[in-house]
Structure 1
């Protein structure tokens, strides 16, 4: 739709980078607002960058406005160095963004990249924080909340992650022995997640929806989104 604006936070990450490429390949958005700590250094007349200090995100509220908010923020314990820093990036910052979105007159959809296995009650810190964020967002009463739960993400990363590389190798080996839909839960390309995010957000589907790997792969392949209660849970 002409005149619509998309906002991406986390555009330098695997999914965020793929999402930006996806949006630039479409004519759905007249403007793409990139909110981040540093410039992405990609030139396109639809891109507008806002360099922020995420610890003071509320100070930039008057400069932040979009129809579709895409939150692709995420880190690892190795990068964050502490549980406190990890929690700040994976919970606090996305929640602050959601609050800004909720107060935005243009706001239509909030799209969050979470993780397969997210559970607020999990004994794993990573899954627990992801789950806590999902639950907190659900309680906000946003008109349209789409949560994407990718499993192992495949794609280029600037930072080498040894455990992830080992998992990718295992995936390539054991894929010969895994048949049917189970294989689709083992790994998903960042580009597939990005494609799914675009088609879901542009569908104007209201409510709370959880998108699993199999559904995201299906959407990316068909390049369309039709709500299916067997694949996308409405809370």
Structure 2
């Protein structure tokens, strides 16, 4: 199979790319983005990686070299990193939709597109972050792709290349209070980026519905 991934330098994307390279199910992995991912020179499967340099606003005019079986969207930023609410929207909503439309243009009859959203994503939410994620999910459904899998993690934990102070504080607090996330609170339990990536790889092979939503709790229960 042929895969395409965008957002491969982030917390989940980096782990996901390594899993795809390790998998014997994929013959080629196209990586789209501004920066080329750093892969160990001797990493198994490195020869499968094909980097396509692009900006998000260039996705609408791109064409991929060949049909993609599985598309993985790991785009995600913060308002602080983006610089403004509009810049955040351009990544977490418009960038995701542009990648989805790029894959749609190839008309692959069994395409599987995976997208990382967020816990409590809701287009009607009063919380800006959750509202944008919810709007993205809503518009994604309207594209009517063959198979869409939406992942809704809670706070993502793991080693990041970039510094996110609030998430670092969250990780520290989780180390102290992780035992409290039981029962009805388990759905809010922070989740490791590698764990999300593993669930994504497994789920891509099992797509059956036109749209599936994989909750934070479901991801915890799978690994």
Q: TM-score, normalised by structure 1?
A: 0.87
Q: Name the SS for the 1:61 alignment partner.
A: coil
In structure 1, stretches of 5+ residues that fail to align are: 222-235
Matched, 1:169 2:172: yes
Distance (Å, rounded) in 1 between the aligned partners of 2:137 and 2:19: 25
In structure 2, stretches of 5+ residues that fail to align are: none
Map residues 71-86 of structure 1 onto 2, 5 A cutoff: 71-86=73-88
Q: Which residue of 2 aligns with 1:102?
A: 104
Matched, 1:151 2:148: no
Aligned residue pairs: how many?
Answer: 217
Contact 1:109 1:145 in 2 (8 A): yes
Distance (Å, rounded) in 2 between the aligned partners of 1:76 and 1:90: 9
Contact 1:196 1:217 in 2 (8 A): no
Q: Which residue of 1 aligns with 2:3?
A: 6
* Greater shift in the superposed pair: 37-46 or 179-188: 179-188
Matched, 1:31 2:33: no
Give how far 1:179 is off. Answer: 3.1
**Residue deviations 1:132-151 (CA, integer Å, cap 9, x gap):** 00000111111111000000
RCO higher in structure (CA 8 A, sep ≥6):
2
Contact 2:30 2:50 in 1 (8 A): yes
Map residues 39-118 of structure 1 onto 2, 5 A cutoff: 39-42=36-39, 43=41, 44-63=46-65, 65-106=67-108, 108-118=111-121
Distance (Å, rounded) in 1 between the aligned partners of 2:11 and 2:180: 28
* Greater shift in the superposed pair: 15-24 or 5-14: 15-24
Distance (Å, rounded) in 2 between the aligned partners of 1:88 and 1:100: 16
**Residue deviations 1:185-216 (CA, integer Å, cap 9, x gap):** 31111011001101111113231111011211
Q: Which residue of 1 aligns with 2:13?
A: 16
Contact 1:120 1:131 in 2 (8 A): yes
Distance (Å, rounded) in 2 between the aligned partners of 1:175 and 1:51: 40
Contact 2:186 2:217 in 1 (8 A): no
CA RMSD of aligned residues (A): 1.6
Structure 1 segments of 4+ aligned residues over 4 angstroms from their partners: none
Distance (Å, rounded) in 1 between the aligned partners of 2:203 and 2:58: 30
Q: Which residue of 1 aligns with 2:221?
A: 218
Distance (Å, rounded) in 2 between the aligned partners of 1:215 and 1:154: 17
